[in-house]
Structure 1
Amino acid sequence: MKIDAQRLKALITRRGYTNAKLARNLKVSAKSVGRWTKGKSKPSITTIHQIAKELNVSVEVLTGEAPMEDTKRVTTSPRSRVGADVSARTRNAFLIANRRYGVTQTQIIELAPLLFTLIAEGSLDYRRRIIREAEHHIDALNEMANGFSSYLRSDRAEEGLIDEESSIKRRDIFGECVGNDAFEFGYDQPTQNPFFKYLHWLAGALTDKDAVHLEVEEDIHIENVPAFSMFHEEARKIAKGDEKLAACVAQGIVDLGKLPKELRPAEADEARAQWLRQEAQRVQDEASKFLAQFLSTIGGEQDDRP
């Protein structure tokens, strides 16, 4: 019994799998799956049955004895391509998520509206809880009727709570529709907006503190979207343990989307690290060249200090 290599490749894609995910589920190496899809080797009969079960098809479809049309999924929802420019940092995050969880970029994009809604509504609930806690503390302060307690009370505290409740009712998740007085009291929307605060709270509650790293940058590529990186340990594996190269991957200085396919397998770590070094140097050289050209137009001099 022999499987149809092209059929196997198509079925893996149709199932929404990658070679790595199928390999994990079958408890074999990704290299073995890759050889099957190229027709360079064939799995055992037992494994063929396991593959068919995993891909939810009959063995006959897998071997080419039955047409693939029998396995087509009936769908009433037409497919369309989503066009969006993302930063190299985000592109790298897609690839790191793929390595970590075995999910495809399409699966992540399909889930994006659902996940965003869950987080957005969660952030509003989080703010409601904070309001209830604040009201409790304000009531406690108001019960202190004399002495120094008057210095601890703010006549405008309730006004602030009303303002916050209004923002929540408007589903103002980024905290943009707040009163001007909030800014007078030191509110900085880009760095202190409630959505960003909620993301920080979620990240801090994770057991694996390496999972998500959030930061606010002055030059945010999309308004109200915080800069983030994920699983620095995965980035270190990609960079063969080189901390500087791992930082280039995590920060999107090097775009993994440009990484040649032959350098993506784990066994290509040395060649991949060399490519990353060359790419990081190329990006640095281009940045230096641009800076030199810019400074020359304004009569400045470039600082060559490291």
Structure 2
Amino acid sequence: MTIPIHPEALKAQRSRKRWTQEELCEATSGPNKVSLPTIKRIESTKEDFYPAQDRVALTLAKVLGVSTEELGKEPTERAQLEESLRKVGYRPLRTMIDAETALAFNMVQDIYGIPIRSQIEMAPLFMTLLAEGSLAWRRERVKAIEEASEALQGLGGGHSSYVYTAWRIDAGTAAERKSIEKKDFFGIDVSEEAFDCGYDRSQNNPFADYLQDFAKEVGAKNIRFDADFGWKTSEGLPNYRIGAEIIDHLTDDDPDAEYALLRGHVRMKDIPEELMGDKKKEERVAWMIAQIPEEELAVRKAERDSLMSLLDTIDLPTTFPKGGNDD
């Protein structure tokens, strides 16, 4: 039995992996190894399709992470465009982001006029500056604590309680300096004493503290940190919203209108100018909701009704006892 492979499809999928023909051959090592001559023969065929043995097609599809059907199709214009851009130094970013982050990109573009593409291209620079800024911020704080410790010892005059307190402070600042030297941005390598004193990485960490302090210092009114909802990333970067007050104003706190923004059914620039005034809130919200596809909106309503009916079945007490659980 044979399975057709389009020569350009195999080339495109191999290029996506950034493999040479030899590397593709090596990736198929094992009992079903595809020889280098076979790979060259498939890619150099002048016919529209190469009739490959099913073992060959299945092995190539597996190592390339695609289906045999995809290997049998002529590459799309998008794939061809991507390949041409690769040749001049461009690389695609393959990742999924949550709706809040996608909306944040749009809000930065709408508020500050910075295109989304530029935000992505500049992200490594911005992150590096923030990372180095956080280390400098921590050094300044350690220095201030050390100076306070020295002043405390001077006030104590050798009294044992003051000496002990200063010793604990000095031990803490020494540990913090080691953490800074190791570029321990998220406070992972802290002393056991820190945990004994109540430090909890699930609640705060040095980098998150710096970002929030920096936002306060510069008066960043368009940033809101959502500390009650855990971290945005596993490393400990804080949850945030860009332009939260603007969004609240536009949607009048209507969940469906906000959903329209989050799912990209509405962009700020798309909202008709005549609906932007305070007196047009109801009309604006209705217009935003109307941009959600009917089927999608119906699903949301059904889910909401289901949740409400579930809540109705829960018998909540109307009054609560002031004391304990005495019968």
- Tell whether the structures are fold-level matches, with TM greater than 0.5: yes
Pick from 131, 134, 141 the counterpart of residue 142 of structure 2. 131
Q: Supply the AA of the counterpart residue of 1:257.
A: G
- Write the distance in 1 (CA, Å) between the matches of 2:302 and 2:198: 40
Pick from 216, 220, 245 the counterpart of residue 254 of structure 2. 245
Q: CA deviation at 1:190?
A: 2.7
Runs of at least 5 residues in structure 1 that lack an aligned partner in the other structure: 1-73
* Count of aligned pairs between the two proteins: 221
Q: Supply the AA of the counterpart residue of 2:140.
A: R
Alignment match, 1:259: 266
Q: Is the 8 A contact 1:210 1:232 kept in 2?
A: no
Task: Give the secondary-structure state (helix, strand or coil) at the position aligned to 1:99.
Answer: helix
Q: CA deviation at 1:222?
A: 2.1
Alignment match, 1:106: 117
Q: Is the 8 A contact 1:262 1:268 kept in 2?
A: no
Inter-CA distance 233–247: structure 2 relative to 1 (3 Å threshold): farther
Q: Is the 8 A contact 2:203 2:230 kept in 1?
A: no
Say what the alpha-carbon RMSD is for the aligned residues.
Answer: 3.8
Query: Is the deviation greater in 122-131 or in 76-85?
Result: 76-85
- Write the distance in 2 (CA, Å) between the matches of 1:281 and 1:167: 52
- Write the distance in 1 (CA, Å) between the matches of 2:300 and 2:261: 8
Alignment match, 2:286: 274
- After superposition, residues 281-292 of structure 1 pair within 5 angstroms as 283=300, 285-286=302-303, 289=306
Alignment TM-score, normalising by the size of structure 2: 0.56
- Write the distance in 2 (CA, Å) between the matches of 1:273 and 1:77: 45
Alignment match, 2:207: 195
> What is the CA deviation profile of residues 45-99 of structure 1, one whole-angstrom value per residue up to 9, with x for unaligned ones?
xxxxxxxxxxxxxxxxxxxxxxxxxxxxx99962222122222221111111111
Q: Is the 8 A contact 1:196 1:226 kept in 2?
A: yes
1:140 has 2:151 as partner: yes
Q: Is the 8 A contact 2:223 2:240 kept in 1?
A: yes
Pick from 156, 171, 178 the counterpart of residue 190 of structure 2. 178
Alignment match, 2:107: 96
Q: Supply the AA of the counterpart residue of 1:100.
A: I
Pick from 195, 201, 221 the counterpart of residue 210 of structure 1. 221
Alignment TM-score, normalising by the size of structure 1: 0.60
Q: Percent identical across equivalent pairs? A: 25
Q: Supply the AA of the counterpart residue of 2:139.
A: R
Q: CA deviation at 1:256?
A: 4.5
Q: Is the 8 A contact 1:245 1:276 kept in 2?
A: no
Relative contact order, CA 8 A, sep 6+: which one is greater?
A: 1
Task: Give the secondary-structure state (helix, strand or coil) at the position aligned to 1:128.
Answer: helix
- Greater Rg over alpha carbons, structure: 2
- Write the distance in 1 (CA, Å) between the matches of 2:274 and 2:90: 36
- Write the distance in 2 (CA, Å) between the matches of 1:247 and 1:178: 44
> What is the CA deviation profile of residues 121-151 of structure 1, one whole-angstrom value per residue up to 9, with x for unaligned ones?
0000100011110110000111121669628
> What is the CA deviation profile of residues 102-123 of structure 1, one whole-angstrom value per residue up to 9, with x for unaligned ones?
2221110111110000000000
Q: CA deviation at 1:282?
A: 6.0
1:80 has 2:96 as partner: no
> What is the CA deviation profile of residues 132-181 of structure 1, one whole-angstrom value per residue up to 9, with x for unaligned ones?
10110000111121669628824322211111111111111111111121
